[in-house]
Amino acid sequence: MNQSVLPGFEFLLMGTKEIIQEYPKAQTVGELDKMLLKVCHEANNESISDAEFRGMIYDLMLRKVELMEDRMPKIRPT
């Protein structure tokens, strides 16, 4: 990892550590959206690599899809 990126990433992880620990517990899509917005806001203020940012967002979006699956209509083969 690039040394110039490391301090910003460490700060971001400290700021979003709670989110990363809590996202699996999110019960609604709205809760997860708030977490995503917070990660984006903090990442905007820090220097982190694109790959690190994408990894965080990917994990949160996977959880969002899991939550939304219950609300999606069932697919019936014809």
pLDDT in tens, 14-28: 555 566 566 666 677
Give CA 1 to chain center in angstroms: 20
Contact indicator for 35, 21 with CB cutoff of 8 Å: no
Give the tokens for residue 12.
């971001």
- The model's confidence at residue 11, banded by pLDDT at 50, 70 and 90, is very low
20 within a domain of the structure (yes/no) = no
Domain count, the chain: 1
Cα–Cα distance measured from residue 57 to residue 55, given in angstroms and rounded to the nearest whole number: 6
pTM surpassing 0.85? no
Give the tokens for residue 19.
């989110």
41 within a domain of the structure (yes/no) = yes
Q: Which residue has the tokens 């982190």?
A: 48
39 within a domain of the structure (yes/no) = yes
Which range of 34-38, 68-72, 74-78 scores highest in mean pLDDT? It is 34-38
Parent domain of 34: 1-11+28-69
